[in-house]
């Protein structure tokens, strides 16, 4: 059965994790998409509650079924249900698990009927059941029939019990319903965007679920591919979510206690990811630090590799380094390679054609990311106009116009930079930490020395160490190359010439401008 997400959603329930593992193996395993199981599906429409949650939702041609899971010891006395976990903590509820499942089902169906065409919702039988994996429910009750109960006996053959549950509810249905593959997919496309979401990279904390980033259609195709394939090449321009997805792959691949390495070339990006996302079983390192990282983890080789900013690693020597620390090597091992789609257009000069040819020969699944989900459309259009690069389509909203200023000398540059920072922070309302100044072809320390004290004191010079707590408390300053793979809300690009003709300059402009999520200012040299 296909699972969404591919690894258990964050839960403290060991019973749910065990049921998740069993569901994944049945009905043909995870490669069979005829039946889909959603774990921990949140409901914004519930019969009795403002918010509800379904432990597992099974969707397939035979219907829509809600499963409530209750682990530990279960008892009911005087109409009060008691659930005792492995630590002997007791939770009590006047609403039994069968009523929970029933009300969640009706809340879901109500929303489906409101949002989807009648022909879709009427194609499915509906039903619910309760799974007690740790105990046996021997007593009969008015709230349930035996077919609705999966206790520790039936749990050993969950597929058989589910088929019985389907037959039970379908026999109660007045119509013979059987949803087509197309209809199942249509329902899945509605359910999944409501659920398949990840934490954006710029969230202040790992648990900032108030800032949720919905996956785009092309990104969801990628999520599918990591469930079904061992080797994946994912290509997309700047801003299409490659690093975001690299972290999501890491979460999923470490769920079964595999030892995974997320590899990049930039020490700054490594430092940012290592300290931002503390995922058990994940090692974040540079390609040159793989050997030491494996040794510190007590490993000879990693179970899988995730490569971010892969366009910087497309040389036979670096691919050989990756091969040496992966179980099975690149030819037989498990890996996911993210790279910029522009790496073969000459925008990045260090790409070796034989390395690209070798990587493409490794029987990998290809996923292109088309939609830009970082930059506003205004910034996206500017990137394309200046560099001709493919940075995806659509963009994340329209956004403010790009501000372009010309300078005559160092004093004028300092004045215009100070004015832009004031405009963005004081007038635009962004905190100073949301602003990064990127220098084009200028040494940072030499640049700072040219500035008046008042402006110099506003700027925080970035380095590998400071990336552990990025963004800093102030306006950050960096060279373009060092900031590759990172982003901020506002970017002020300083020193770019108005006329850009060579590939090296275009590559610098492409990287710099695409770092800005919503505000971009360019102060030309």
pLDDT in tens, 472-518: 989 999 999 889 889 999 999 999 888 887 778 888 899 999 999 88
The set of residues, in sequence order, having a beta carbon less than 8 Å from that of 238 and lying 6+ positions away, is 340, 372, 374, 375, 383, 389, 391, 510, 511, 514
d(C-alpha 384, C-alpha 236), whole Å? 14
CA–CA distance from 396 to each of 200, 210, 519 (Å)? 13, 18, 12
Would the pLDDT of 403 be above 70?
A: yes
Per cent of the chain over pLDDT 70 is 87
Out of 145-159, 283-297, 410-424, which region has the weakest mean confidence (pLDDT)? 145-159
- pLDDT tens column, 338-359: 998 776 444 455 678 899 899 9
pLDDT of 300 higher than 80: yes
CB atoms within 10 A of CB 284: 27
User: What's the pLDDT band for 140 if we cut at 50, 70, 90?
Assistant: confident
pLDDT at 233: 93
Surface-to-core class of residue 174, CB atoms within 10 Å of its CB (0-12 exposed, 13-18 middle, 19+ buried): exposed
Q: Average pLDDT, stretch 94-107?
A: 88
Mean pLDDT of the chain: 84
Lowest-confidence pick of 215-224, 369-378, 452-461: 215-224
User: Shortest CA distance to 133 belongs to which of 91, 53, 70, 90?
Assistant: 70
Q: Report pLDDT for 295.
A: 95
Counting Cα atoms < 13 Å in the Cβ hemisphere of 390 gives 15
pLDDT band at 83 (very low <50, low <70, confident <90, very high): confident
Given a cut of 70, whether residue 205 has pLDDT beyond it is no
Most confident stretch, 65-74, 247-256, 298-307: 298-307
Distances (CA, A) of 409 to 487, 496, 512: 28, 14, 22
- How many Cβ atoms are within 10 Å of 77's Cβ, its own excluded? 8
- pLDDT at residue 48, rounded to an integer: 44
CA distance 165 to 314: 52
Does the pLDDT value for residue 49 go beyond 50?
A: no
Q: How confident is the model at residue 264 (pLDDT cuts 50, 70, 90)?
A: very high
Q: What percent of the chain has pLDDT over 90?
A: 38
Name which of 93-97, 215-219, 264-268, 454-458 the model is least confident about. 215-219
Distance (Å) of CA 10 to CA 2, 6, 28, 499: 18, 12, 25, 50
Flag whether pLDDT at 201 surpasses 50: no
Is the Cβ–Cβ distance between 105 and 56 less than 8 Å?
Answer: no
Using 50, 70 and 90 to split pLDDT, how confident is the model at 267?
Answer: very high
> 161-173: per-residue pLDDT in tens?
999 999 999 999 9
What pLDDT does 321 receive? Answer: 95
Concatenate the DSSP letters of all residues of 84-149 into one string: E-TT--EEEESS-HHHHHHHHHHHHHHHHHHHS-HHHHTT--EEEEEE-TTS---S-BTTB-GGGE
Q: What is the dihedral of CA 194, 199, 200, 204, to 10 degrees?
A: 140
Site of tokens 């969801």 = 220
Whether the per-residue pLDDT at 429 is higher than 70: the answer is: yes
pTM score over 0.85: no
Q: State the DSSP code for 65.
A: E
């Amino acid at each position: 059965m296909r699972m969404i997400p591919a690894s258990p959603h964050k839960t403290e329930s060991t019973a749910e994790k065990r049921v998740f593992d069993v569901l994944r193996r049945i009905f043909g395993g995870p490669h069979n998409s005829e039946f889909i199981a959603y774990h921990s599906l949140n409901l914004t429409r519930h019969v009795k509650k403002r918010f509800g949650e379904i432990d597992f939702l099974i969707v397939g041609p035979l219907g829509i079924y809600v499963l409530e899971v209750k682990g530990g010891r279960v008892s009911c006395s005087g109409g009060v249900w008691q659930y005792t976990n492995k630590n002997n903590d007791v939770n009590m509820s006047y609403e039994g698990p069968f009523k929970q499942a029933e009300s969640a089902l009706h809340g879901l169906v109500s929303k489906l009927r409101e949002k989807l065409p009648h022909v879709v919702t009427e194609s499915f039988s509906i039903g619910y059941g309760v799974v007690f994996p740790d105990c046996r429910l021997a007593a009969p009750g008015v709230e349930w029939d035996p077919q609705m109960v999966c206790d520790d006996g039936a749990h050993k053959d969950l597929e058989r019990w589910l088929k019985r549950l389907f037959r039970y509810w379908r026999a109660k249905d007045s119509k013979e319903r059987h949803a087509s593959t197309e209809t199942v997919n249509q329902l899945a496309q509605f359910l999944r965007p409501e659920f398949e979401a990840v934490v954006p990279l710029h969230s202040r904390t790992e648990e900032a679920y108030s800032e949720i980033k919905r996956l785009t259609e092309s990104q969801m195709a990628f999520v599918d591919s990591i469930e079904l394939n061992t080797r994946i090449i994912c290509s997309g321009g700047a801003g299409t979510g490659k690093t975001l997805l690299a972290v999501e792959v890491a979460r999923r691949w470490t769920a079964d206690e595999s030892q995974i390495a997320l590899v990049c070339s930039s020490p700054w990006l490594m430092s940012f990811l290592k300290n931002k996302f503390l995922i058990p079983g994940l090692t974040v390192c540079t390609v040159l630090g793989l050997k030491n990282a494996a040794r510190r983890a007590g490993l000879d080789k990693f179970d899988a590799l995730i490569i971010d900013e892969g366009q910087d690693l497309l040389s036979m020597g670096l691919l050989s380094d990756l091969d040496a620390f992966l179980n099975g090597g690149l030819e037989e091992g498990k890996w996911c390679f993210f790279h910029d789609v522009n790496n073969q257009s000459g925008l990045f000069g260090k790409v070796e054609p034989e390395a690209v040819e070798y990587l493409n020969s490794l029987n990998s699944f290809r996923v292109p990311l088309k939609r830009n989900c970082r930059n506003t459309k205004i910034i996206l259009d500017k990137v394309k106009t200046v560099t001709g690069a493919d940075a995806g389509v659509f963009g994340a909203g329209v956004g403010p116009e790009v501000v372009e200023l010309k300078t005559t000398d160092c004093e004028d540059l300092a004045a215009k930079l100070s004015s832009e920072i004031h405009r963005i922070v004081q007038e635009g309302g962004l905190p100073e930490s949301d602003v990064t100044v990127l220098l084009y072809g200028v040494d940072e320390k030499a640049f700072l020395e040219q500035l008046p004290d008042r402006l110099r004191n506003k700027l925080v010079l970035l380095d590998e160490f400071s990336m552990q707590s990025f963004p800093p408390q102030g306006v950050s300053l960096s060279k373009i190359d060092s900031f590759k793979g990172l982003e901020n809300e506002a970017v002020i690009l300083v020193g770019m010439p108005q006329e850009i003709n060579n590939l090296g300059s275009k590559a610098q402009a492409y990287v710099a401008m695409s770092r800005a999520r919503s505000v971009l200012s360019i102060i030309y040299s």
